[in-house]
Structure 1
Amino acid sequence: MSQAPDDQSTTLQELKGRVAAFVAERDWQQFHTPKNLSMSIAIEAAELMEHFQWLSVEDSRNLGPQALAEIGEELADIVIYSLSLANTLGLDLSQTVQAKMDKNIRKYPADRVKGKAHKYTWYEGKDEG
């Protein structure tokens, strides 16, 4: 019996391929422009935020199964549109994410920012402490 796909066994390329096939089977490439896809990501992100809008911090950390399922669907929509945008623009997401993480490491050195939540510009020109 085969195991259901999960984060441990599914590659980004497999997900990108599945999204590309879905789009192609419906002839939706004509609608999947960078403009439309970026707008769709923002719209889905707003729908995700809606689930947390009136919750306390504590409640947002203790979600029931129904809420988690609904939030998971919104998050999946964001990821699907993001994968489609990467397909449309010919971006290699693994390289893009790795490059961005390298940049974040430089912008937010752990020894200076640990336990703090400021934007990187807050740390520029500041002494330790």
Structure 2
Amino acid sequence: MSEIRIRREHDLGLDEARKLALKWAEEAERRFGMDCTVVEGEYSDTVEFSRSGVKGQLVVAADHFDLQAKLGFLLGAFAKTIETEIEKNLDDLLGARQALAKTPKAAANNGAAKKVAAKKNGNGARKKA
């Protein structure tokens, strides 16, 4: 079983990091068929994700993202490719967010971005609708 670990530092703060993590989860569901659940916490959130052959979590904090994923036997052969794709995806999201912050007009439009609907289940986790 292969394991992927990725850490990215940022200066977004928790609220902005949460928004970015929701975008990441949406893309993981759309592109890779992942089942994503967000578990909210006071100081950090955890995006749990899984599908056949992959299980992991993305910890979302005010100053960093920590991703850990375990790949099953079949996907383990592609671990480096998968890791590179995840790194690119996170870096693209962080880069886009930093670019928005530098552009006043884009930052103003960011507040009108589409809201993600979520359902709460009994354990405080939010399941994307």
TM-score of the pair, normalised by structure 1: 0.31
Look at both structures and tell me which one has the larger radius of gyration over its CA atoms.
Answer: 1
The structure in which a higher percent of residues are helix is 1
Greater RCO (CA < 8 Å, at least 6 residues apart): 1
TM-score of the pair, normalised by structure 2: 0.31
The structure in which a higher percent of residues are strand is 2
